[in-house]
Structure 1
Amino acid sequence: MQVDTINTLMHSQHNDGYYTGFELQAMGFKSLGQNVLISRKAQIYAPHKISLGSHIRIDDFVILSGAINLGNFIHLGAFSSITGGDGVESSVSFGDFCGMSSYSKIFATTDDFAGGYLVGPCVPLALRNVKGSHIVLEKHCHIGSHSLVLPKSYFSIGASLGPMSLNMGRKLKPWSYYFGNPAKKIYTIDSCKILEKEAQMLQS
């Protein structure tokens, strides 16, 4: 593809409310794939710690902060947020075909609210007890609207968390749908149909 054509495609995103390809490159992401759409109303902190795959859409008012690794075919709905941490003791990683619905939250780090410590970023770190972990979502994992994921959580392939649900550090089983506060398994997801559709898409 000629350079002029590439430039036209990148700049054409501007009128749709997304950063252009040139602007995304200038942000200094750790890595950046192709066909990445990030709303101009989203907030990105520490982009040098964030890796983005290809075919990603990040909607209005999303917040990304800290060590985050997003695979391919990812959608983050409006007002969702990911707090990834330092990348050494805490991070968030998405496999391919994962997503977050609007207002859902992932925290790879959190303050100890009950252990006799002060909390919040305005307090000296020596007086806080910040706990963190690596949070992993394997392929085909989804988080429903208004749901919350806390440190030590792990989503096995195909695991999903329903709307208004809480996962406090559990490992969710493969191809399982969880719902509630705390979240409990409700039913098993049909993995065969999903994998068939994935294969059709990748072959097209």
Structure 2
Amino acid sequence: MGFITKEQILQVGFKNVGKGVLISEKASVYKPDMISVGDNTRIDDFVVLSAGDGGIRIGKNVHIAVYSSLIGKGKITVQDFANISSRVSIYSNNDDYSGNFMTNPTVDKRFSNVEARDVYIGKHVIIGSGSIVLPGVTLENGVVIGALSLVKAGIYEKFGIYGGIPVRFLELNSENVQTELSFAYMSSSLGKPRLLRRGGCHFLSSPLRRLAANAEQKI
């Protein structure tokens, strides 16, 4: 019981899959040839990834927690270091609720009116437990969505904290996670080296060296 092996991951048939990926043996994947998963991403128990024509692209160091789902015909993009908490539902298509069309995937498309819209989740985004993300949503870098929220179509500006049904802007989040902390992490042994160069030598400023050292000590 637990995560499937590297060999089993390759047998799933993903379009692309990175190194250090962890996928629960209880997760469900549909149309894996339309799904890409980046390095060090973790997908937990009972997660459903169901790709449509637009596909699903999951970046590096993404966590998708238990009972969450990414479903739909439109493209779903989840960028690096995003955190999708438990029981989050992300949809990239929607049925027509007007009563003028039939609904659900068992009905021939001639009788339904399914609208597909892309969903984009930026770097360092956090989506709280039990939230729903509807088609046409763009969450820019660093956005935080509070638990049990409904995110309707629209662009949510970077580092904003949002919550409610539907969500409303609450306050701005710190940008440290996007700048100093990310740089320190990627420059430590925990991430891939991305050091600056000066005169042919790699270097980090003193504050960033301390951040990198602290990151290593906490693991």
Q: TM-score, normalised by structure 2?
A: 0.82
Specify which of 184, 189, 193 is matched with residue 173 of structure 2.
Answer: 189
Alpha-carbon spacing, 1:146–1:193, altered in 2? closer, same or farther (3 Å): closer
Displacement of 1:137 in angstroms is 1.1
Letter in 1 for 2:118: H
Instruction: Determine if the alignment matches structure 1 residue 147 to structure 2 residue 131.
Output: yes
User: Aligned partners of 2:62, 2:177: CA distance in 1, in Å?
Assistant: 19
User: Aligned partners of 2:77, 2:144: CA distance in 1, in Å?
Assistant: 15
Instruction: Determine if the alignment matches structure 1 residue 77 to structure 2 residue 77.
Output: no
**What are the ranges of 5 or more consecutive residues in structure 1 without an aligned counterpart?**
1-14
Name the residue aligned to 1:129. 113
Letter in 2 for 1:133: R
Give the share of equivalent positions with the same residue, in percent: 33
Whose radius of gyration is greater, 1 or 2? 2
Letter in 1 for 2:68: S
Aligned partners of 1:68 and 1:84 also within 8 Å: no
| RMSD, matched Cα | 1.1
**What are the ranges of 5 or more consecutive residues in structure 2 without an aligned counterpart?**
189-219
Instruction: Determine if the alignment matches structure 1 residue 109 to structure 2 residue 97.
Output: no
Name the residue aligned to 2:8. 23
Specify which of 21, 45, 56 is matched with residue 60 of structure 1.
Answer: 45
Name the residue aligned to 2:208. none
Q: TM-score, normalised by structure 1?
A: 0.88
User: Aligned partners of 1:165, 1:110: CA distance in 2, in Å?
Assistant: 18
Name the residue aligned to 1:4. none
Aligned partners of 1:37 and 1:56 also within 8 Å: yes
